[in-house]
Each structure stands twice: as C-alpha cells, then as structure tokens.
Structure 1
Amino acid sequence: MNERPPEEFVEALLSLRQAGKESKWQIQEVPAPSRLSPYAAALALSAETAHARFVVLYDPQGQPGWDSHFRIVIMARSEIEYEFASDPLLADVVWAWLGEALDAAGAGRHAITGTVTRTESQSFGATELLGGRLHVELRASWSPNTEILGPHLQALDYLMMSLTGTQLHEVV
C-alpha cells in the first residue's frame, strides 16, 4: 500500500510514543497483521519470563462489533508457578487484572472481549533438561474511547507487571 495513512491513524500512533518511553519492558516494532484492517501497527514487549503483543487496527469505515474506527488487540503470555496454575480462579484473576490495568492507566474502552488460557508443556529428548513449564496467556481486544492510545499501551505495561509478579521498581 503506497498511499499515505490517514491523519487520524498517524496521530493515534504518535500518541503511543510517550507510553513507550515510559515502559519498563523492552519494546520493538514488529510486523502487523495485514488482513484484519486497512491499517495496522504492532509492538512487541518482552522480558525474561513474559512477552506480549500490542496491535492497533484502524479502519476508516469501521467494522461490525468495533463501534469505532480503532481496535486494540493484545496477547500477553507469562510463565507461572504451579500453585498459581492450578488455581481454579486463575482465568478470572487474570481477566480482572486486565480491567484493573486499563482502569489504572485511564484507558477508556468498550466492546471488550477475550480469553485466558493456561498451558503446560513438557520437554523431551535434547531439551529434556528444560523440564516442564506452565504459562498463562491472555488474548483480548477492545475499542478505545478516543484516538489517544498511550494509556492502552501503559495498561499492557501494568498487566505484564501483574503477570510476572514484578513491582514497578524491579523491572529492568
């Protein structure tokens, strides 16, 4: 696509800059999905035991279910301890953390949807020394109430802290 992106989309992306500078995680731009909307941008956040994706979708015409020109899509995955993984309320707790993170960051939103998944993997063969690993993964999407998207990226920052059990001053 050689045409210039719409100004509304460019301004929304520029609003992410300050939140990205304040993030406690390593952030880099990554390829965005190209089939979900006419315009998209994506960021990856990473730490030793967790990683996340933050995707901004923009469709000047809007899409059914969005009730907006914008849609935020996130995926956050973290290693977890066995005791936490076996808690029957794990999914409810992680979903609540997302709401708390969005509220704490002042990220107004609507039409939110998502899933929480817990996984266990066991290594074999040459990687057997790695042992088993437990993970929790949250996938969610929502429509922001405004085109100022910085608070939404900041919310993902907060969510990552909850998932990793990290305090703000501990993150490198």
Structure 2
Amino acid sequence: MAAAQEQLSDGADGTDGSEEDPRDAGDVTPAAFRAAVDALRGARLRPEIEVDPARPPRRLAPYAYALEAAVVENDEDLADGRLVLLHDPAGHDAWKGTFRLVTLVRAELEPEMAADPLLPEVCWSWLTGALQGRGLSYGESSGTVTRAGSHYFGGLAERPPASQIEIRASWTPREGLNGVPDTAAHLAAWCDLLCQIAGLPPAGPTDASVVCLPQRRGPQAP
C-alpha cells in the first residue's frame, strides 16, 4: 500500500465511505478499535478547537474513524485539519503496528512568512515536537510539508496575494498493554499542532525555542 498520507488525498480527501458509527457493526468491530474511538470522542481539548466527526476513508484499512477540526477565534477560522484513525487487526508491515494516524493540516500565511526557506522544516518539527511534548511514543512517521502561493489577475487583481501551508503526515502510535494506543493524547498533540500553525500561543509553559507563526487577524490598519 502507498503511503497513507498520499492516499488520503485521493478524491475528496479519500472520504469515500459512509458516516456510520464504527460500533454499528456490533461484535464484528474489534474491542481495541472501539476503545480507541471512544477515547477520541471523550478527549478534552482547547476551547479554540471545534471538532466534528467526518466521513472516514474505507480503502485504507478494515476500520477507520475520522475527525475534522478548526481553530476558531473571533469567528475567524485560523487553521483547519483532518485526523484519521486506521486499524488493521492483522497488523500492517508498513505501519509496524495495528493502528495508524493520518493527518492533513493547513493554514493561511502572510506571504513574507511563506517565503521563509526554513518554513517546511519548522512545520515538520512542530508535528514531532507536539507528539514529544505530550510524552507520546510513535514510529514510522512520514509526511510532506507544502506551501503554495496564489496571485490574482484580471477581475481579481484587487485581491492581495495569498499563501497557504499544508502538512500531510502519518505515524504509528505505540499501543499500550491492552493493545490500544492513547488516542486522546495523540488528538491533543494534533490539536497543539493546529493551534501552533494557526499562530496561537501555547496553552501552557513551553520551551523558549518553540517558534509560533504570527496570528492572522486580517488587514492591518495603516
């Protein structure tokens, strides 16, 4: 199977299944997957994060659950993303485990920030740093950081240039003694990444080396 973050981009973010509850299959659904999903649903997150269930992909693994989230402040979406939990009870050679987390995170940037040559490396370090900051063990991480710029012409020429950063990634969460990873903590770390790429300050004490993007509040007064 190709890298999960690549397949997630197929079609409409790879969401070709239904929105049915993964527990609707009754006893067919593995207990470990049900427990992992319950932990996601019960996670307590920062108030700036708005989370909703999403239609999961059906071709990446036998079992899947998806969430969409946005960082919202003053009715403005500062960043958004999607987190997919995959589960294959038989294990997967590429994952080196039975669970896999796949994500897409994106945010608008000021053009001068997007031009920073170190931005991709910094954004990737935000993902790994968010996981490490929560004390999470994981393996087989892979992904891409993409920045794109749009310039407008003709009838749209009055629009200012727009830039966007996008992180696509996947990793294998380490399973506990009960065979279930701490998905609530992984979701919290993922939300830390969302807030960081949105330019929000950390929710708690952080290392002085952590770099945040400037908050985006629309056009500034001259």
Q: Deviations over 1:123-156 (max 9, x none)?
A: 4566555432101000000000022211111111
Per residue, is there more helix in 1 or in 2?
1
Partner of 1:3: 25
2:67 paired residue number: 43
Identity of aligned residues (%): 36
The alignment yields a C-alpha RMSD, in angstroms, of: 2.0
The residue matched to 1:62 in structure 2 has which SS?
strand
1:122 deviates by 3.0
Instruction: Classify the secondary structure of the residue corresponding to 1:3.
Output: helix
Query: What is the 5 A alignment of 1:1-172?
Result: 3-4=25-26, 5-19=29-43, 21-23=44-46, 24-47=48-71, 48-123=77-152, 129-146=158-175, 147-168=181-202
**Aligned residue type for 1:162:** Q
Q: Tell me the alpha carbon deviations over residues 95-125 of structure 1, each in whole angstroms, 9 at most, x when there is no partner.
A: 0111111111222210100100001123456
What TM-score, normalized by structure 2, do the two folds share?
0.70
Q: Is the CA contact 2:79–2:195 (under 8 Å) kept in the aligned structure 1?
A: no
- Structure whose CA Rg is larger: 2
- Work out which structure has the larger RCO, using CA pairs closer than 8 Å and 6 or more positions apart in sequence: 1
Which runs of 5 or more structure 2 residues have no equivalent in the other structure?
1-21, 72-76, 176-180, 204-214, 216-222
TM-score scaled by length of structure 1: 0.89
Q: Which sections of structure 1, spanning at least 5 residues, go unmatched? A: none
> Aligned partners of 1:152 and 1:75: how far apart in 2?
14
How many residue pairs get aligned? The number is 169
Structure 2 CA distance for aligned equivalents of residues 10 and 34 of structure 1: 16
Distance 2:97 2:169 in 1: 16
1:130–1:32 Cα change, 3 Å: farther
The 1:40/1:122 distance shift into structure 2, 3 A limit, reads same
